[in-house]
Amino acid sequence: MTADQYLVLTEQLVAVAVVISCLEYLVRPGVLSDHGLAGWPVGRLTRRWKTGPWGAVLDAILVPSRYRIVLLLRCGAAVMLLVPWTEPVPRVAALAIVVVSSLLAQVRSSYGHDGADQMCLVVGGAALVARIALVTEAALWFIALQACLAYATAGLKKAASPVWRSGEALPGVLGTTIYGNARAHRTLVRHPGIARLGCFSVIAIETAFPLALIGLAPVTCVLLALGVAFHASTVILMGLNTFFWAFTATYPAIVYVALAR
């Protein structure tokens, strides 16, 4: 596979995450309403510049009725990225829509966004720059390094937390309303040894993840497989649907940087 083919695969995986994210909002329009958790009347007050000279423009775009159109355009652009275009123009146009709409989502509300949204923006932005400036290999390096930085930062942060080291973090998270799973929560509460092992496993995988770039195929493959298993478990247990696609979208870049070159 060429560097461009690895970038196409990266774009397609990000596109799946974007489609899922858009559908989650579109099927629950109340979240984006003026009285919802991600309502614009509150979101516009989080930064002074949102009510300044740009306020009227943002109001025209980010009110619920028009923002749903933005989501539909974003979803359509992501679907376009799934098509194997031979010409660069459609991919550039689709990436531009995805990146701009990602920025608008961040502007509209500071709440409800997570690492998957940020990773989609970073990877989508890198892919857009690569398409415009013809720097595919540099973009793949950037995406691979960004992924390793994200994993290592998360792992080191958890390692410094006494809650994670004690094994209390996973039962605590799985006992919440938003990210919880009642059966898994009860199991970990009854078996604290398993909870502690789970916490240390997450810390170890995330902290060691940069080793995927050292160029040893067995190490890279094992760490990527553990990453896939980790994100698949968060889908099953916590309902974090976009995390799986957003973070595995960086894996083609890691394979290219570590092995394929």
Indicate whether 228 and 119 sit together in one domain: no
Q: Could you tell me which of 249, 240, 261 has the C-alpha nearest to residue 81?
A: 249
Indicate whether 32 and 61 sit together in one domain: yes
C-beta of residue 60 within 8 angstroms of C-beta of residue 66: yes
Q: Which domain holds residue 39?
A: 1-134
CA–CA distance, 24 with 18 (Å, rounded to integer): 10
In one-letter notation, the amino acid at residue 230 is: F
Q: What pLDDT is stored for residue 125 in this prediction?
A: 96
Indicate whether 26 and 109 sit together in one domain: yes
Q: What percent of the chain has pLDDT over 70?
A: 98
C-beta of residue 75 within 8 angstroms of C-beta of residue 22: yes
Residue 112 inside a domain? The answer is yes
Q: What percent of the chain has pLDDT over 90?
A: 64
Indicate whether 29 and 112 sit together in one domain: yes
Residue 120 inside a domain? The answer is yes
Q: What is the DSSP string of 68-129?
A: HHHHHHHHHHHHHHTS--SSHHHHHHHHHHHHHHHHHHHHH-SSS--HHHHHHHHHHHHHHH
Question: Mean pLDDT in the chain?
Answer: 90
Indicate whether 197 and 256 sit together in one domain: yes
Domain end, chosen from 134, 167, 188, is at: 134
Domain end, chosen from 80, 101, 134, is at: 134
- What is the pLDDT confidence band of residue 65, given thresholds at 50, 70 and 90? confident
- Average confidence (pLDDT) over 51-75: 85
- Residue owning tokens 């493959």: 221
Residue 261 has pLDDT above 70, yes or no: no
Indicate whether 25 and 113 sit together in one domain: yes
Residue 228 inside a domain? The answer is yes
Q: How many domains does the chain have?
A: 2
Indicate whether 130 and 157 sit together in one domain: no
C-beta of residue 84 within 8 angstroms of C-beta of residue 8: yes
C-beta of residue 243 within 8 angstroms of C-beta of residue 116: yes
Q: What is the DSSP string of 9-68?
A: HHHHHHHHHHHHHHHHHHT-GGGGSTTSTT-HHHHTTSSGGGGTTTHHHHHHHHSHHHHH
Indicate whether 203 and 123 sit together in one domain: no
CA–CA distance, 40 with 114 (Å, rounded to integer): 18
Phi-psi sector, 246: left (phi>0), alpha (psi -120 to 50), beta: alpha
Give the model confidence (pLDDT) of 139-196 as tens digits: 999 999 999 999 999 999 999 999 999 999 999 999 888 888 889 999 999 999 999 9
Domain end, chosen from 70, 100, 134, is at: 134
